[in-house]
Amino acid sequence: MSIHRFRIVNVFTYRRGALTGNPLCVFEDGAELDSTTMQALARQFNLSETTFILPSTRADARVRIFTPTYEMPFAGHPTLGTAHVCRALKLGTDALRLEMQAGIIPVTASGDRWTLTALEPTWREVEEPRGVLAEALGLESADLGERPLWIKSGKEQLVVPLATEDAVRRAQPQFARLSAIRSEDDISMAYVFTERNHAGGRGGAESGKRRTLARFFFPQNGSMMEDPATGSATANLGGWCLAVGWPLPLEVEISQGEQIARPSTLHLHIDAGRQIRVGGDVIELGRGALHLE
């Protein structure tokens, strides 16, 4: 019988609340587990992602990321949550390099605020007409904002600006329609966002600081699910900001998870050199061990 220790952490927490942010299961040592077992364990925990820490000859640790149904090359909250566990296991300090399928991801911490440096983004136009895209999101064409794009900063996702906060809250993706709009790796995912209005103008754009409201939708077991906090999509939002020419340097505070009662806060920073960083607070909620024969 083998014993496999794991930790449950919450990433991108809202005011460090214990039951906020995006939960993650991290297995401390995946060296003895094969891919089939890793996938089965991810299905057992049934969180949006489960990660496995492995030795690396190129970085402080190698990380494999699994959803309940498939392996991912990169995802934001698993990267930050796993870095938090790596530090606790003394695999590194406040500066770590994690080897993912997508590449080497540098991660740093200030206390329990973890920040990753995203890969350089690429982007391409969306081929579907605006009306088709709006219908797939359960919205009207007038609800769409400027220039939806496919963005890849580790994992390609559809990034769709919306005109108002109300439109973000009303979005109800239609599984069949959205499933027909697919990324380069044949997956249908959509990130919708809008700037939040407050005193001082449009999102505080003149000061380089903005606030957004966002939602992220993904398919699972034949239905469309919603993620409480999505680091990879936040990195891709950074790519979208570069694509459309938002002024730099730029700081964005993103609120996500509102519609599913799981408030989360994510921080996006793009410096004058166009480097994208994504950060948020991580807390450990619990730990345990599985006994497998």
CA nearest to 252, candidates 238, 242, 262, 239: 238
**pLDDT score, position 230:** 97
Q: Where are the beta strands (DSSP E) in 139-222?
A: 149-152, 156-161, 190-195, 209-220
Domain with CATH 3.10.310.10 in the chain: 2-113+282-292, 122-279
d(CA 30, CA 33): 5
What's the mean pLDDT in 220-245? Answer: 94
Round to whole Å and give the CA distance between 79 and 74: 8
Could you tell me the end-to-end alpha-carbon distance of the chain, in angstroms, rounded to an integer?
4
DSSP 150-168: EEESSSEEEEEEBS-HHHH
User: Per-residue pLDDT for 220 more than 60?
Assistant: yes
Tokens (6 digits) for 135: 């219908």
* pLDDT class of 43 with cuts at 50, 70, 90: very high
Question: Which entry of 49, 99, 156, 195 is annotated as an active-site residue?
Answer: 49
CA dihedral 128, 142, 263, 177 (to 10 degrees): -30
pLDDT at 120 over 70: yes
Q: Which two tokens stand for residue 292?
A: 């497998």
Residue 83's SS3 state is: helix
- Predicted confidence (pLDDT) per residue in 175-200, tens digit: 999 999 999 999 999 999 999 974 33
Least Cα distance to 290 among 67, 23, 55, 25 occurs for 25
Question: What is the percent of the chain where pLDDT is above 70?
Answer: 96
Q: Side-chain half-sphere of 149: how many Cα atoms within 13 Å?
A: 19
SS3 (DSSP) at 260: helix
Under the banding of pLDDT at 50, 70 and 90, the label for residue 232 is very high
Question: Would you say how long the chain is, in residues?
Answer: 293
* Cβ proximity of 289 and 251 under 8 Å: no
The model's pTM: 0.93
> CATH number of the domain at 122-279, out of 3.40.50.10210, 3.40.220.10, 3.40.50.1980, 3.10.310.10?
3.10.310.10
Q: Per-residue pLDDT averaged across 138-167, rounded?
A: 97
Q: What is the mean pLDDT of residues 251-276?
A: 98
Q: Please give the share of the chain, as a percent, with pLDDT higher than 90.
A: 92
State the CATH class of domain 2-113+282-292. Answer: alpha beta
The pLDDT, as a whole number, for residue 207 is 52
- Catalytic, 135? Answer no
